[in-house]
Amino acid sequence: MIEPIVRLAARGDGVTAGGTFVAGTAPSDLIAADGSITPGPHRQTPPCRHFGRCGGCQLQHVDDASYADFVSQRIISALAAHHLEAPMRTPILSPPHSRRRAALRATRRGRQVVLGYAEAKSHTLVDLAECPVLAPEIVALIKPLRQLLGHILPDRKTGTIRMALADQGVDLTISGVEAEGLEAAEALAAFGAANGLARLSVDEGFGVMARYAPRPVTIDLGIPVMLPDGAFLQATREGEKALIAAVEAALDGTMVRADLFAGIGTFTFAIDAAYAAEGARDAVAALKAAANAKLRTLEVEHRDLFRRPLMAAELARFDGVVIDPPRAGAREQIAELAQSSVAQIAYVSCNPATFARDAAMLVAGGYALDWVQPVGQFLWSTHVELAARFSRR
């Protein structure tokens, strides 16, 4: 008996009509009784030599149409689990070579430094020779980073490397290294200058310290915003643009707007928010400084919205709210929004499951889920993002 693959499951495995999960398959592949696979029309040649070992991507073997459908179906399935449905807009996928942030690991064995992502379901590192999802500016640093780490990473130790593409270049932070003394300081400064870094920071176990920062590091969010070390950025500029456009559409017609879980202002300035709440002190400082520098009227509050959500009475002065919580969702804040008089809500999420849970609370409170904009910002991975509009009925 031969069965076709009819869909992709949440973790990327293909599923037959009979409910059999088959790893590494694409929709329309044919599965024989002996387990052999006949490729179908939606299978493509993976663009990366590391695919199959590297844990960073799970779906490089499927074509764009199947991947876009997977992004939408992840959201549809999550909503269905809560007996909800909504119109799905056409998914927006970030292109290859566009990821502007990365977290890599490195380990040193004698003179050899292995730098890359972990293998799937393993702590073993894949030594990156290429990465078709990362921005070229980040990929260009992999080879020189190996040389630098060969001098400052202790033998048989593992370090972590975080990179983000700021306005001035790559913002690089290295953790788990030994960088004491004049020679190390000079090597770090020389590395930063030679590679055009925006900033180079080191964490030897006592907190992050900038070791090379020739000028202030900013990110353009409609206005320049100071970029704190480790601050959250949307993974790609294209994904950020898609989410902002969806939020603007969701809040169209509203006048007084609030940004909850504002971060450093991904949506704050785009929607001309009157109020922004954020729990991270560095992000709050960056928001205030950016608004003041451009003479923008913005009330910024340092507030933990998990422990102290805005109450329904506090929300009464806003007719539009954007909320962009972490993966855990925002159960406490959503409970208050569900009781509020806010006319329109833009919900941005990186987790369809917690979004669907929160959406059910809003619908139970009298909101309509008008539409969802799926966004495949993490190309070829199973990570799905979205923006949705809720309106008070």
Catalytic annotation on 350?
yes
* Residue partners of 262: CB distance under 8 A and separation at least 6: 268, 273, 276, 277, 278, 283, 287, 300, 324
In angstroms, the CA 83 to CA 180 distance is 58
In angstroms, the CA 279 to CA 300 distance is 11
* Residue corresponding to tokens 């044919």: 30
| Per-position DSSP letters for 318-358, written without gaps between them | -SEEEE---TT--HHHHHHHHTS--SEEEEEES-HHHHHHH
Tell me the residue type at 327: R
> Is the Cα dihedral 205, 288, 214, 160 positive or negative?
positive
> Is the Cα dihedral 284, 289, 290, 294 positive or negative?
positive
Residue 130: φ, ψ to 5°: -160, 165
In angstroms, the CA 237 to CA 245 distance is 12
Please state the three-class secondary structure of 137-155 as a single string.
Answer: HHHCCHHHHHHHHHHHCCC
In angstroms, the CA 61 to CA 52 distance is 10
Question: Catalytic pick from 48, 57, 131, 350?
Answer: 350
In angstroms, the CA 231 to CA 239 distance is 17
State the catalytic residues.
350
